[in-house]
Chains A and B, each alone.
Chain A
Amino acid sequence: MAWTGKILRVNLSEGTLVAEELNREWADQYLGQRGLATKYLVEEIAPDCDPLGPDNKLILATGPLTGTMASTGGRYSVVTKGPLTGCVACSNSGGFMGNELKNAGWDMIIVEGRSPEPVYLYIENEHAELLPADEIWGTSVWRTDEWLHNRHQDPLLRIAAVGRPAEKGCLYAAIINDLHRAAGRSGVGAVMASKNLKAVAVRGTLGVGNLKDPKRFIEAVDAAKRVLANNAVTGQGLPTYGTQVLMNVINELGALPTDNAREVQFDGAHDISGEAMHEPRPNDGKPNLVRNAGCFGCTIACGRISTIDKGHFTVSHKPEYWGASGGLEYEAAWALGADTGVDDLDALTYANFLCNEDGMDPISLGATIAAAMELTACGALAPERTGGIEFRFGSAEALVKGAEWVARGEGFGLDLALGSKRLCEKYGHPELSMTVKGQEFPAYDPRGIQGMGLTYATSNRGACHLRSYTVASEVLGIPEKTDPLTTDGKPALVKAFQDATAAVDSSGLCVFTTFAWTLEDIAPQIDAACEGDWDVDKLLTVGERIWNMERDFNLRAGIGGDEDRLPERLIKEAAKTGPAKGLVNGLDKMLPEYYELRGWSADGVPRAETRARLGLS
């Protein structure tokens, strides 16, 4: 069955912890993780509730393949109503937390209410309790992790925690597990901190069995692992260069948002690229990259472990940052680098370490600092408002100070913690915010990759690349090459990616497998593990059902089709260089066709027949 069949419900207001039986009917309709947790959320909270109030809930959810021997089967998601957007939020993380939770016997944890005092949740298999967190409240994730390991004298304890920004209400605060894996987007960390919940510490030793057909599962998993190993992308490209190899690719294609998306190409792209991470530094002769790293059960291992030059100005007097830690992924390197115009790889790595240490989404942080830089450039922000530092494009000092201030929750960092949308509104220039539904868009300029414009505009959690990564098709040719400069065919492409991704995000597997796998590779693994008949068609229907459920929640929260739009810059200011020169994004051409393909009305509301077909009330 793969599901453990058990949910842990934690009411922080009452201090109660109750084991519940999983709703198996819902599991058959929504699979697990993103889909199933969102089903619980939309059934249990009022869509108009305050995201940072006690009525919101926070769900940590595994998928049915989490903790199994399936490759990449270590994922979990955090589902809640997001404070950055007001939309449904679902942030997915790897590392070793998801499998530990599953090994402790739980499909998901539902956290509700608000504790009167700071607490952490300790789980050892079926035993769960709330313990005081006074001593770690006000400390970073890294300090919290160390304290909990010492407190419980258990080096194998797996910990997910929030840092100081979350406690201070940073709207893009992340939940960090295993020191440098993040449920990063949409401010899920702020929700956790709003409940006075500092950390979740889990030890699971029960194993994950309960498979429908173990022999067939082993065969399906083995076959799928061979596909990953034999595929040039997942077998060689991602392990060697990680996602950061994209920096030069996207720059060459003229789709690298630079200087808060004023430009689409960055002169310093190479200096912050995956290739640069391999090159020896002038000062110590060592490269930035130490090694690659894999999450639980992963046979790809795209993660980066990096160091900073000890002589660099960011760490020369801070030996605590001289060790190796989670390095730059492409999205973080873009946001902290190209988008701010900073080409200093060590400064970016340091800012990324801070994001891991204290729990901040590097995409939103970098894009918000970039917005502050443009506010400065247009005269709306003077250095006296920004701690005496001039926030000019290209300033590594401004980037680093900004990251430090948000991490500590002090000075101008409190403004930066609002995110780009609220920052730009506060200083009188909302048009300078590169956001959709309040969330900063990531590392692909929709003028150079047209499908990503529709992806951002329609993402249910605000601008996001991972909801439908059409870059795979438009740039990388996976599963087949499409022209990034045209809108033709993109509505169907976006819908197909959205539905398939929603299913993968609900399985316990990593979406990066889909550079090699199709649902034809994934369905047999799920079908061998889970009760019910799980084929490709059913997974696509589940994915479409999840997408419409999320949409429905947003509609009921007051976020409708009029919010399916892009920043004016992307649809009015043409790209100045590269192959997209002269182009804006053609969202107006794509959106009506997309709504029609979805079975939605002209204003973006699922029609009655669409709801009926998908079994949505």
Chain B
Amino acid sequence: MKIKLKLFATLGRHLPPGARRNAITIEAADGSTLFDLLDRYGIDHEEAFMVVRNGVFMPPAQRPIEPLRDGDTLAIWPPVAGG
């Protein structure tokens, strides 16, 4: 399945070659979870502080178990704030 992966702020260093504007579309095995993708790109689970799936906050409890779906967009940030 295809997943659009967006890694922002300091997580941008984990993006594979070919990424543009902090985003890349990747192939992932059916049934993959968020944690599977984090492990694949060497991202510490704790560092993936805010995860937004298709524009909606993904609660931490879902991240190790919820299967992703083809066409999902994942946007991930380390702890950040503004105002």
In the assembled complex, the CB of A279 is this many whole angstroms from the nearest CB of chain B, namely 10
> A248: which B residues are within 8 A, CB to CB?
6, 8, 22, 75
B79 contacts A252, C-beta separation under 8 Å:
no
> A232: which B residues are within 8 A, CB to CB?
49, 78-79
Q: Is A238 an interface residue (CB 8 A)?
A: yes
In angstroms, Cα B37 to Cα A603, docked, is 52
The contact string, 1 if C-beta is below 8 Å from chain A, for chain B 56-83, is 1101000000000000000101111111
B83 contacts A465, C-beta separation under 8 Å:
yes
> B80: which A residues are within 8 A, CB to CB?
233, 237-238, 241, 245-246, 249, 476
Evaluate whether A469 and B79 lie within 8 angstroms (CB atoms) in the complex, with A253-B52, A275-B9 already known.
no
Interface residues in B15-66 (C-beta closer than 8 Å to A): 21-22, 49-50, 52, 54-57, 59
Evaluate whether A237 and B55 lie within 8 angstroms (CB atoms) in the complex, with A245-B77, A249-B50 already known.
no
> A469: which B residues are within 8 A, CB to CB?
83
A252 contacts B10, C-beta separation under 8 Å:
no
> B79: which A residues are within 8 A, CB to CB?
231-233, 236-237
A249 contacts B8, C-beta separation under 8 Å:
yes
In angstroms, Cα B7 to Cα A275, docked, is 10
> Closest A-chain residue to B20, C-beta based?
A270
In the assembled complex, the CB of B24 is this many whole angstroms from the nearest CB of chain A, namely 13
In angstroms, Cα B52 to Cα A350, docked, is 32
> B6: which A residues are within 8 A, CB to CB?
248, 252
B50 contacts A476, C-beta separation under 8 Å:
yes
In which size bucket is the chain B interface?
20 to 34
Interface residues in A482-530 (C-beta closer than 8 Å to B): 483-484, 511-512, 515
B50 contacts A270, C-beta separation under 8 Å:
no
> A136: which B residues are within 8 A, CB to CB?
none
A579 contacts B22, C-beta separation under 8 Å:
no
Interface residues in A361-418 (C-beta closer than 8 Å to B): none
Q: Is A60 an interface residue (CB 8 A)?
A: no
A252 contacts B49, C-beta separation under 8 Å:
no
In the assembled complex, the CB of B9 is this many whole angstroms from the nearest CB of chain A, namely 5
In angstroms, Cα B83 to Cα A331, docked, is 7
B82 contacts A246, C-beta separation under 8 Å:
yes
B54 contacts A233, C-beta separation under 8 Å:
no
- From A245, A330, A331, B9 is in contact (CB under 8 Å) with A245
Q: Is A243 an interface residue (CB 8 A)?
A: yes
SS class of chain A's interface: helix, strand, loop or mixed? helix
In angstroms, Cα B56 to Cα A578, docked, is 9
- From A231, A245, A271, B82 is in contact (CB under 8 Å) with A245
In which size bucket is the chain A interface?
35 or more
Q: Is A583 an interface residue (CB 8 A)?
A: no
> B52: which A residues are within 8 A, CB to CB?
249, 252-253
- From A237, A275, A484, B78 is in contact (CB under 8 Å) with A237
B22 contacts A275, C-beta separation under 8 Å:
yes
- From A240, A270, A466, B83 is in contact (CB under 8 Å) with A466
> B9: which A residues are within 8 A, CB to CB?
237, 240-241, 245, 274-275
- From A236, A330, A481, A579, B55 is in contact (CB under 8 Å) with A579
> Closest B-chain residue to A248, C-beta based?
B8
Q: Is A439 an interface residue (CB 8 A)?
A: no
In angstroms, Cα B56 to Cα A512, docked, is 25
In angstroms, Cα B55 to Cα A252, docked, is 5
A476 contacts B55, C-beta separation under 8 Å:
no
In angstroms, Cα B51 to Cα A403, docked, is 37
In the assembled complex, the CB of B37 is this many whole angstroms from the nearest CB of chain A, namely 17
In angstroms, Cα B38 to Cα A195, docked, is 59
In angstroms, Cα B51 to Cα A31, docked, is 39
Evaluate whether A242 and B82 lie within 8 angstroms (CB atoms) in the complex, with A232-B49, A237-B9 already known.
yes
In the assembled complex, the CB of A557 is this many whole angstroms from the nearest CB of chain B, namely 28
> B77: which A residues are within 8 A, CB to CB?
245, 249
> B54: which A residues are within 8 A, CB to CB?
579
Evaluate whether A237 and B81 lie within 8 angstroms (CB atoms) in the complex, with A275-B8, A477-B50 already known.
yes
In angstroms, Cα B56 to Cα A275, docked, is 21
In the assembled complex, the CB of A373 is this many whole angstroms from the nearest CB of chain B, namely 25
> A240: which B residues are within 8 A, CB to CB?
9-10
> Closest A-chain residue to B79, C-beta based?
A232
The contact string, 1 if C-beta is below 8 Å from chain B, for chain A 552-563, is 000000000000
Interface residues in A448-466 (C-beta closer than 8 Å to B): 465-466
> Closest B-chain residue to A474, C-beta based?
B57
Closest 5 CB pairs of A and B: A243-B82, A232-B79, A246-B82, A579-B55, A237-B80
8 pairs, A vs B, C-beta closer than 8 Å:
A232-B49, A233-B79, A241-B9, A243-B81, A243-B82, A252-B52, A476-B81, A578-B55
Q: A234-B81, A237-B81, A248-B8 are in contact. List 10 more A-B contacts (CB 8 A).
A: A233-B80, A237-B78, A240-B10, A241-B80, A245-B8, A245-B9, A245-B82, A249-B75, A471-B83, A472-B83
